[in-house]
Amino acid sequence: YHQMMRERLFKLESILNEIMQYSKNAKLEVEHKSIHLREQINRVLTDVQYLEGASRIKITVDVADDLSMVTDPMRIGIILNNLISNAYKYSDLTKENPYITIRAVKTDREVTISIEDNGEGIDKIHQEKIFSMFYRATARSTGSGLGLYLVKESISKLGGAVRLTSEYGKGTLFTVVLPAS
């Protein structure tokens, strides 16, 4: 019973955090600060390293140590946290070499961040709806259905765009394009 209570409390805490993120994203003005993207990614990776099966997943981070950008730290945190944690949650641990690859490239005008995995993938029938509020594309989902909605809304507030490429059973690639400054 204690384990069930603990799991429910963690789920409730997660839902409350997502609602708080939604509220902040909707109401707060965009803040412009210089951030080091690699540091932001490393923070998220530290937070998710204890998820079930995480030790089996090969993580590759192809982001220059000095890649900086002027953006809203809170919103970039929402984007990275949701996309990276989803890559972990929906990994396919039955595969011989599960992986997550995080890349970022900066040009004069934009920063492109990609998060790719060879996890379970997203079926075509769900792909148009995954950024909708409260939508969950799989029965395996334990979340509220707010995560990818928050990603889309945060990217929109920053003046960027997100693309999804996924094949069910093979994996998923999210590509986020944000203004460089």
pLDDT, one tens digit per residue, over 98-128 is: 999 999 999 999 999 999 999 988 888 877 8
Q: In this structure, are residues 68 and 34 in contact, taking their beta carbons and an 8 Å threshold?
A: yes
Lowest mean pLDDT among 7-11, 64-68, 159-163: 7-11
pLDDT score recorded for residue 135: 54
Lowest mean pLDDT among 7-21, 24-38, 50-64, 131-145: 131-145
Cβ burial 72-86 (10 Å sphere, 16+ → b, else e): bebbbbbbbbbbbbb
pLDDT score recorded for residue 145: 67
What is the dihedral sign for C-alpha 146, 20, 152, 77? negative
List, for residues 141-176, the tens digit of each pLDDT value: 556 667 888 899 999 999 999 999 999 999 999 999
pLDDT score recorded for residue 116: 97
Question: Is pTM, for the whole model, over 0.95?
Answer: no
Above 70 in pLDDT, residue 14?
no
**Average pLDDT of the segment spanning 21-49:** 84
